[in-house]
Amino acid sequence: MSVRATIRGTHTFDEILSQPRCWRECFRALAGQIPAVREKFDAPAEALFVGCGSSHYIAQAAASGWTHLTRSEARAVPASELLLFPELVLSNEHARRPILISRSGHTSEILKAAQFLELERNIRTLAVSCDAHQPLKEISTDSLILAAADEQSMVMTRSFTSMLLGLELLAASVAERTADSESLMRLADRTEPLIEGLRARVEEFVASHDFADYVFLAQGPFYGVASESMLKVKEMSCSYAQCFHTLEFRHGPRAIVGPETLVTFFLSETGWEAETEVLEEVKGLGAVTFVVANRADAAVRRAADFLVVWELDLPEFIRPAAYVVAGQLLGFYTGIKKGLDPDQPRNLSRVVILNDKV
């Protein structure tokens, strides 16, 4: 049954499929915002990406891309770590430029982090959000707003990819890497024709399999994508899911592998040989494997039970936003199969607002 024949998950479904169109709209909006912000990064400083939940996983991916594109230091931390252990996060007098990520701009921990940095530590912050009318923008010194990426669904999908791409575009602008900026803007055109085919394949794969455990593995720029894909499966399908660096999976976690385990690999080209060795090992242990890559050789095709090959003629650090679409679809269709509503995951709210004890 097509998801369009149901009520469950229609917002999430539409928002996943709308991503390439949304990226184009966000890039048009950012063209007028980035020039005023980029000059704030002229002086050497560590980029400190701060978020909660999916926004923290944006921070992980964005920090990796920032280091690659600007050749300067970048780090990702949860807002809670900054609030509870500030001296570990701000451990020296090193100059830093915090970038605070929040779809709504209302999340309690990110607002407290902004107040702490701006008012207590006198450190200027940049807010990145999808809502033009929210308190985070008012507290922070600067802001980038991607209003087109906001969602009706509770879970983040297009807001995740759009804010990640927006931060990568900022990094390319700061580094004056025009070719990378142009590559980012081509991503929508390269991926849009492929997403519908991927959607149908993931729907069929989920319908024909049942799993007790979900594992997501990646290295480098794709680790934040693996983390976010793990969270999508948890949120939308209430399934047990874990995330590890690919080579770390050998060091104990692979004990869980069996035919009831789906292991998803986001393969990099930089670490291709080492990562594909783990793929072959895991397949040999009896796992079902779900592989997302930009290319595939014969060994990968043999070891992959489900294979997504993007074949994007774009730099590796431009691709993570496309890769996460596979994880979003996996979470969505697993939730639908279990009779759940991905638009309304249980025990969750769209914005986490806490009391003052954070």
Are 66 and 85 within one domain? yes
CA 348 to chain centroid, in Å, comes to: 19
List the domain range (segments joined by +) for residue 323: 189-337
Model confidence at 148, pLDDT cuts 50, 70, 90, reads very high
Are 292 and 227 within one domain? yes
Rounded CA separation 39/124 (Å): 13
CA 266 to chain centroid, in Å, comes to: 12
Average pLDDT for residues 324-350, to the nearest whole number?
88
Rounded CA separation 231/234 (Å): 5
Question: Does 348 reside within a domain?
Answer: no
| Residue carrying structure tokens 């993570």 | 320
Nearest Cα residue to 227 out of 210, 242, 212: 242
Each residue of 273-304: pLDDT tens digit?
A: 999 999 999 999 999 999 999 999 999 999 99
Are 217 and 321 within one domain? yes
Rounded CA separation 216/249 (Å): 10
Element (H, E) at 215: strand 213-218
Are 212 and 241 within one domain? yes
Average pLDDT for residues 339-346, to the nearest whole number?
88
Query: Who has greater pLDDT, 307 or 347?
Result: 307
Average pLDDT for residues 7-30, to the nearest whole number?
94
Rounded CA separation 67/8 (Å): 40
Quote the pLDDT of residue 92.
81
Least confident of 49-63, 83-97, 99-113: 83-97
Quote the pLDDT of residue 132.
87
Are 37 and 105 within one domain? yes
Evaluate if residue 3 carries a pLDDT over 60: no
Are 304 and 280 within one domain? yes
Average pLDDT for residues 166-181, to the nearest whole number?
97
Cβ proximity of 53 and 351 under 8 Å: no
Question: Does 345 reside within a domain?
Answer: no
Question: Does 222 reside within a domain?
Answer: yes
Cβ proximity of 104 and 351 under 8 Å: yes
The domain boundary residue, chosen from 153, 184, 215: 184
Are 156 and 279 within one domain? no
Are 65 and 102 within one domain? yes
Quote the pLDDT of residue 355.
66
Evaluate if residue 4 carries a pLDDT over 60: no
Rounded CA separation 97/102 (Å): 16
Question: Does 73 reside within a domain?
Answer: yes
CATH number at residue 174: 3.40.50.10490
Question: Does 289 reside within a domain?
Answer: yes
The domain boundary residue, chosen from 149, 167, 184: 184
Q: How many domains does the chain have?
A: 2
Quote the pLDDT of residue 109.
95
Quote the pLDDT of residue 245.
98
Question: Does 108 reside within a domain?
Answer: yes
The domain boundary residue, chosen from 144, 169, 184: 184
Are 282 and 138 within one domain? no
Tokens of 220: 């480098």
Quote the pLDDT of residue 51.
98
| Residue carrying structure tokens 């002229």 | 42
Each residue of 104-124: pLDDT tens digit?
A: 999 999 999 999 999 999 999
Question: Does 347 reside within a domain?
Answer: no
Question: Does 357 reside within a domain?
Answer: no
Model confidence at 354, pLDDT cuts 50, 70, 90, reads low
Average pLDDT for residues 118-132, to the nearest whole number?
96
Are 231 and 213 within one domain? yes
Evaluate if residue 1 carries a pLDDT over 50: no
Tokens of 241: 């899911």
Model confidence at 344, pLDDT cuts 50, 70, 90, reads confident
Each residue of 159-172: pLDDT tens digit?
A: 999 999 999 999 99
Are 139 and 262 within one domain? no
Secondary structure percentages of the chain, helix, strand, coil, to 5: 55, 15, 30
- For the chain, the average pLDDT equals 93
In the chain, how long is the greatest CA-to-CA distance? Answer: 58
Are 216 and 261 within one domain? yes
Question: What is the value of pTM for the model shown?
Answer: 0.94
Could you tell me the CA-to-CA distances from 233 to 18, 79, 89, 327, 331 in Å, in that order? Answer: 19, 23, 30, 8, 4
Quote the pLDDT of residue 237.
96
Quote the pLDDT of residue 5.
39
